[in-house]
Chains A and B, each alone.
Chain A
């Protein structure tokens, strides 16, 4: 095994393979910085180029792109509140307010440093998992996956601070929206109103753009200023790097969360991103600045976002189970390259597996350095009058949304969701739980159906299900402050007296 790891490392360092890794990294800048394109599009763009290519060089190219996409996506998230990919949604929550305070450089530097550490941890996890992953993943069935999704949803209560009820309702709205379209377990077309567009369900990109991007643009327009409230970037970059090392345990914990969530098929970077954010809020002593520009709100999701890349590769290359749409495209690319994903990789093509490990680790380091170099000039955009970039941002949002299913429905839905998102923001209804509910809703229903079909009601008695269930209940109680919230609603004085 050590021999294979060393051989793969030396292969990666060959000039051609290294050049391919760099090409992937640089190509990732352009795909990741355009909101809505994301990992799947990035992988699709590379596909036509890898036919007939040397498999090692092609793997370097893909790993470079994967690493960069998960790093550079924080630039539009922090500067313009536009999620570059699904994995940077939670980064907006504190990254964007930091940019508005004139600390864009700090937020970006922290995001890139956390991404680099997270990415390397993800690669290490992938490396360690090669001999260990099989028994772990085999012990988890659909009931455990279902419970993990439920645990993710209950975090919305914790995330919603002093308004947990609104947060939970928004979460349920998201879950309900995920039921639109074809049912996974039946032939029903649900809540489509007879519209062919709705049959495939609601595209995540349109929902994310409508909920976050447009309302933030409207907010900026009515304020009539720049994104940043203060001129200049401040002592950003160095402080951002220091922030990461000051919160190194948070980075490590969130990287582990990201790796684990990424490793679970169907969960993906988006769920990892939000769960890490939830963990940061949950474990912070002073929660008052979250949502208003707390650097931990940038560090946590970004470390999880990048580490989830390593995690998502585990089921893809070891079992041939893609954990996300991007991984499905990557799986196809592996087959095209003559690589057989699955357990045989551990016996016959181990050097290929290690090539991915090294490619991901090195790719993350290069990607973070490249992003760090371009962050300062890019962050200056936030000090320019909003009217210079608003039409461009609007067009990018429209194009990214239209890219989802390429129909008028995308644009009309974008308008509807934007109106909802803007009212939610203005009236104090938290929007992130809606998105979390939407991401996890589809996963929940699918695993609920699989669990019921396979185990009947007995799935509820599985030991791991019970353990996750207890953690879930504790999470709900933590979210409601063990009843303090409900008491305060009807008798505020009682809580003050407490």
Chain B
């Protein structure tokens, strides 16, 4: 199924939403290139030439793309994003799509929040255990195996072999964490 025919399977409100999002992205790029061009004027002569030229060309092309989008062919008539892009999933019903997306955003936010509060070495194994138990309904032995693998990566591969220094978590400012957990 081509992207175009997949688009046809979407309802009109969803198509409209995609078209609006597309234009918002396009306008965002116009603003970005425009701001970059203005900011480049403050750089020294040698430093501004390249970014200024790139920003101006990018600005011109983005405006051109917006005009095509507004007055050219509608998006549904196009065939995806060319031969080099992995086709996006447009077959999942919008309601299910949104529900799963929100759930995933929750999990990612929880991971980031956990790292900020507890640090990599505590938050990551906890997150793994929670996700595998709740989402994958994984068996206990598999959870243990994957967590052991994660702990190996965190405590040995990254910490000792590569010498990665982890960011100090918020909790370390409140209580004294043992050194190996930092």
Contacts and interface: CB of A to CB of B under 8 A. Distances in A.
Bound pair (A, B): yes
B167 interface: yes
B88 interface: yes
A221 B54 contact: no
Output the residue of B127, B136, B138, B153 with the most chain A CB within 10 A.
Answer: B136
Contact of A168 (B18, B61, B72, B165): B61
Contacts of B21: 423, 426-427
Contacts of A427: 18, 21-22, 25
B36 A191 contact: yes
Interface string B68-101: 1001110101111111111111011000110011
B86 A93 contact: yes
Interface string B25-62: 10001001100100110011111101100110110011
Contact of B88 (A396, A398, A426): A426
A448 interface: yes
Contacts of B97: 222
B54 A179 contact: yes
Q: How large is the interface on A (under 10, 10 to 19, 20 to 34, 35 or more residues)?
A: 35 or more
Contacts of B104: 218, 221-222
A427 B99 CA distance: 19
B118 interface: no
B72 A221 contact: no
A463 B44 CA distance: 32
Output the residue of A222, A444, A490 with the most chain B CB within 10 A.
Answer: A222
B135 A387 contact: yes
A137 B109 CA distance: 50
A219 B89 contact: yes
A403 B154 CA distance: 12
Interface string A371-389: 0000000000000010110
A149 to B, nearest CB: 12
A441 B57 CA distance: 14
Interface string A220-237: 011110000000000000
B161 interface: yes
Given A219-B89, A427-B18, A287 B83 contact: yes
B55 A390 contact: no
Contact of B62 (A81, A169, A445): A169
Contacts of B68: 165, 489
Contact of A291 (B39, B82, B89, B164): B82
B181 interface: no
Given A159-B83, A161-B84, A399-B158, A186 B47 contact: yes
B44 A391 contact: no
Contacts of B47: 183, 185-188, 190
B174 interface: no
A431 interface: yes
B144 interface: no
Given A161-B82, A398-B111, A429-B81, A186 B158 contact: no
Contact of B29 (A167, A173, A408): A173
Contacts of A63: none
Contacts of B112: 411, 415
Given A179-B54, A222-B101, A398-B124, 6 more contacts: A162-B78, A388-B136, A391-B127, A391-B128, A398-B115, A411-B112
22 contacts: A92-B86, A96-B86, A159-B84, A160-B81, A161-B81, A169-B58, A176-B33, A183-B43, A183-B47, A186-B43, A186-B44, A188-B47, A277-B84, A290-B83, A387-B138, A390-B131, A399-B158, A403-B158, A403-B164, A428-B3, A430-B84, A449-B50
